[in-house]
Structure 1
C-alpha cells in the first residue's frame, strides 16, 4: 500500500472512530494506542492526527497530551444553520429533478432504515440517514457542496450520532420525517418540501437539552469559552518520535 493511501486510510479510520464515539469525547489518546487499534504505522497515524487536529476534533495540551475534543455545541448549531438554508434550496430543486429511479432509491433507503431501526443497528441506520440526504445533492448535481458541508458538519454529525444512543428519542421520528419529505418532493410540492426540510433539520435544536442532560461530560459550548487551537508545530512535536 502506498504511503499516501496509508495516510488517507488512517485519517478515515480515526475520524470514523471519533464520529461513532468509539473514541469518546474528552478521552486521552496516544500515538501508540492508535497504531495498535488500526494496525497502521507511526508516520501515517501521526499525519492523520495532525489533520484531525486542524479540523478541531483533537486537542493537544502541553504536558498533558492529546484528547478527543468534546462536542462543540456552538459549532454544531452553526453547522445546522448553514445546512438548513442550503439544503432547503437543494430539496426544492429536487422537486423538479426527481426521476423514477431516484424515487426508488429514496424508498429503498427508507426501507433499509426501518430494518436497521428494528435491529437497533446504530452504524447502518446513521449511514442510511446520510445516504438519504446525500441523494438530494446527487440528483441536483450538488455533491461538491455536500462534501464541503461534511467539513463543517463534524460536531453536528457527532451530535446526530449521539442522538441514536438516547432511548427517549425514537428513530421512528427520523424515518417518519423522511417519508413525509419524500412524499412532498415526489408530488412536486415545493413549499411543503421547504417547510419539512426546515422542520427536520430543526430536530437538533429541539432535542439538544435531552442529550446534554444525559451526556453532560461530552459537550462544550465555545461561544462562552476562550479557546485557541494548537499550532501545527505543537501537534508535530506531540506525535514526533522520541
Structure 2
C-alpha cells in the first residue's frame, strides 16, 4: 500500500508569508456600512479620502474597484466615480488599463497648503483676538484641555481630531466658517503629513499641544503680535519636520 506523504510543517517562511495584496484595503474599510439615505458616491469618496489622509491607506497602495465594491457591498459605479473625484484632488493616481494607486505626498502641494493656511489663519486669528467673546474663549480652552487629556493618555487619533476641531472652530468664531470649508481640499496633503508626523515623529503631539496652549493664552490676553507669530510658527513646523518624517517613513511615501 502506498503511503500518503506527510504534509510539511509550517516553518518560519510559511508563518511569515506576506499578507494578501488587498489586506490594507480590507483593514481600512472594515466595519464600514453604507447609509441608504445618502449618496453612495459621496460616502465612498469620504471613506477613501479619510483613510488616505490618516495613512490607513498608505501611498502606493493599489485600489481595486472590484475589491472595494465587494468589501462595502456596493456596485462598481459609485466606486469608480469616487476614485475619479479623488484623482482630481490628487489623492490617487489612475493609470489607464493598469490600475489605481494611492498618490504619494507631493511636496509641492504640501508647500501650497502651508502657504494658504499660514496666510489665512494668521489674518483670521489676529482679527479674532480683538473680538473673541468669553464664551468662545471658554470653548477654545475646553478643546485644548481635551487635547491635553488625549496626549496624556496616548490617544493620538483623538488628538488629531481635536486639532482639526480647534482650527475649524477658530474660523467659525470669526464668522468665517466658509473659509475653513474652502481650505479643506487645499490642505489635504498637509493633513496627510500631520497624521504621519503623529505616528512617526516622537514628541510631535506634545509640541503641537504646547503651541495650542500658547495661542490660547495670547488670544485671551489680546496679544495680537505674539499670536500672529505663534500661528505662523505652528503651521510652518509641519513642513519643517518633513525631513525627520522622511527618515522614518518609507521613501515611496513622497514625491517631488
Deviations 1:39-66 (A, max 9, x none): 4332222211111111111101134211
Deviation at 1:75, TM superposition (A): 0.4
Total equivalences in the alignment: 221
* Helix, strand or coil at the partner of 2:130: coil
Larger Rg: 2
1:89 to 123, 126, 143: 123
Name the stretch that deviates more: 179-188 or 93-102. Answer: 93-102
- Greater RCO structure (CA 8 Å; 6+ sep): 1
Query: Is the Cα contact below 8 Å between 1:163 and 1:169 reproduced in 2?
Result: no
1:123 and 1:40 mapped to 2: Cα distance? Answer: 28
CA RMSD of aligned residues (A): 1.6
Q: Which runs of 4+ in 1 moved over 4 A?
A: 1-4
Could you tell me which of 14, 31, 51 is aligned with 1:17?
51
Gaps of 5+ in 2: 1-34
Pair 1:42 & 2:72 matched: no
TM-score of the pair, normalised by structure 1: 0.86
Match of 2:255 among 207, 220, 242: 220
Aligned to 1:199: 233
The 5 A counterparts of 1:51-200 are: 51-200=85-234
Q: Secondary structure at the match of 1:114?
A: helix
When residues 141 and 37 of structure 1 are mapped into structure 2, their CA distance, relative to the original with a 3 A threshold, is farther
- Check the 8 A contact 2:156/2:205 in 1, yes or no: no
Q: Is the 8 A contact 2:41 2:81 kept in 1?
A: yes
